[in-house]
Amino acid sequence: MRQLKAKRESWGSRLGIIMAVAGSAVGLGNFLRFPVQAAGNGGGAFMIPYFVALLVLGIPLVWIEWALGRYGGGFEHGTAPGIFHSLLQKNRFVKYFGVIGIFGPFVIYIYYTFIESWTLGYSFYSFKGVLTQLHDQALIQSFLRGYQGLEQNAFFSSIVPAYIFFLIAFFLNIVVIYYGIRGGIEVLCKIALPVLFLFGIILAVRVLTLGAPDPAKPDWNLANGLGFLWNPDFGALKSAKVWLAAAGQIFFTLSVGIGVILTYASYLSRGDDVALSGLTAVSMNEFAEVILGGCIVIPAAFVFFGPVDVQAIAKQGAFDLGFVTMPLILGKIPMASVLSFLWFTLLFLAGVTSSVSLAQPAVAFLEDEFDISRKKAVGIFAIVSFVLCQPAIFFLSRGVVNELDFWGGTFCLVLFGTVEAILFAWVFGMDKAWEEIHHGADIAVPRVYKFVIRYITPVFLLVILGFWFYQEGLPTIMLKGVAEADKPFVFWTRLGLIGLFAVLTVLVKVAWRRRNKEARG
């Protein structure tokens, strides 16, 4: 029987790992990205491909990652290179596919932390009552641009206030990571998630009790607001774009294809359940996204702005929805400062439980493969990530964040998920994979999923990748659609990403040379 080294950490409880995985999944995308995707891709019809993707893509990948992580953890590996190597130890190259599982979350971390810090800053300005005094959309947009350092205006003369909140958010992340799996991440998620859900329920109830604010416009009511989001436009189902958007949202919302769940699950013991625990974490995330995320922003926007403007609002994107539209809406409701504070604190808690999970693969890699103490590993991570965060902060307007988000938060997710699915079902072997999922399981996974994991999930992923390469591959590589003034910044960002990937690949090679030398010695 494989056993973990004594030095490796473990979760304090089953609830702890479930809350941590759910915390990783429940992020800004649940409350901002999901309503935008649903409203812009057929309303209620979007939920058909969404739930199809959940059943044949999301849940299978969750089980794959929980099972792979626990299996690799038994060989003292907590990140994708080592976990993949444990599946096929005679293959010298399979571990290099796992570099994506460290690269992806690290790239997301270096821009996500800055965006997360906006929610902390906005919580502060909500508490002070500043935001609720801005009753005009142009004023709120000006406030946001000034805060981001994109312009100097009556609200902000520099990016200094935003940078201070970034430093606070970054420091909080590092403190949590420093205290480890049990003392840091588990404690954070056990506190943050219940508070997050409580705030979300309060906001959802308040929105669901809104009356029509303008007697002259009785159709601007909550029922029609919910209908705008949930009434299906079945014609949208003919568009491949809608199906791809639904699959992308499932990847984004469940944190699959990133490498985080692999790392978290590596701290499980051999007999710990992965089937029911994984499904429980998925259920918590879906409640946050579909129930809470679907009942707050878009319905409230419909009530105050009507059917025409809400379509334009949905097309503005997640950032404007969260940082412009919601403050404007909440400013029209009694107890505006309190509700605004709850909204942005909810977003911050969702952000920080996700960002600490993004840091863990890199820290675990240093600990496990180089035998570095957690204190030193966190120190190295803090220094390197802090330096690499700076371009996302100071070149936000130059397309740097969009470039990081695409390669780290979109392309790598699908690519890594495809690699995982193929390795688990076809290299490790479906019979062994099925047994691994059920080892210590508290539920029996429906047998149809043996077929789904082996055939449908990898084929679905390969189709998504194929469509992207066919439709978007060459234009993306050639920087089509990028403004001429932004191309140098995007080019250097892309070159930096290539360099980062190369450094991680070399570190994997060095780590295995070290392991082999120790084994011979």
Measured CA to CA, the distance from residue 420 to residue 504 in angstroms comes to 19
324 is a domain residue: yes
375 exposed, middle or buried (CB, 10 Å; 0-12, 13-18, 19+)?
Answer: exposed
322 forms bridges with which residues in the sheet? none
What does 31-44 look like in DSSP terms, one character per residue?
A: IIIHHHHHHHTTBG
Name the nearest CA neighbour of 443 among 149, 138, 66. Answer: 66
State phi, psi for 43 to the nearest 5 degrees: 60, -125
480 is a domain residue: no
Least confident of 165-174, 341-350, 476-485: 476-485
Residues 56-70: pLDDT tens digits?
Answer: 999 999 999 999 999
259 is a domain residue: yes
Residue 494: pLDDT above 60?
A: yes
Residues 443-476: pLDDT tens digits?
Answer: 999 999 999 999 999 999 998 888 888 877 888 8
Q: Which domain holds residue 377?
A: 14-450
Predicted local confidence at residue 158, as pLDDT: 95
463 is a domain residue: no
Over the chain, what is the mean pLDDT? 91
pLDDT band at 497 (very low <50, low <70, confident <90, very high): very high
> What is the CATH classification number for the domain harbouring 332?
1.10.4160
Predicted local confidence at residue 7, as pLDDT: 66
193 is a domain residue: yes
Residue 3: pLDDT above 50?
A: no
> Under 8 Å CB-to-CB from 265, ≥6 apart: which residues?
17, 21, 65, 66, 67, 68, 69, 70, 73, 274
Residues 68-115: pLDDT tens digits?
Answer: 999 999 999 999 999 999 998 888 899 999 999 999 999 999 999 999
What does 346-402 look like in DSSP terms, one character per residue?
A: HHHHHHHHHHHHHHHHHHHHHHHHH---HHHHHHHHHHHHHHHHHHHHHTGGGTHHH
208 is a domain residue: yes
Predicted local confidence at residue 1, as pLDDT: 38
> Under 8 Å CB-to-CB from 470, ≥6 apart: which residues?
none
Name the nearest CA neighbour of 358 among 23, 29, 21, 109. Answer: 109
| Region for residue 317 given its phi and psi (left: phi exceeds 0; alpha: psi -120 to 50; beta: otherwise) | left
Measured CA to CA, the distance from residue 98 to residue 10 in angstroms comes to 22
Domains: count for the chain: 1
371 is a domain residue: yes
3-state secondary structure of 232: strand
* Residue, of 210 and 200, whose pLDDT is higher: 200
Residue 425: pLDDT above 60?
A: yes
pLDDT band at 484 (very low <50, low <70, confident <90, very high): very high
Predicted local confidence at residue 141, as pLDDT: 92
Quick one: how far is CA 333 from the chain centroid?
30
517 is a domain residue: no
Q: Rg of the Cα trace of the chain?
A: 23
Name the nearest CA neighbour of 302 among 122, 30, 39, 47. Answer: 39
Residues 15-57: pLDDT tens digits?
Answer: 999 999 999 999 888 998 888 888 778 778 888 899 999 999 9
Contact between 60 and 457 (Cβ < 8 Å): yes
Residue 268: pLDDT above 60?
A: yes
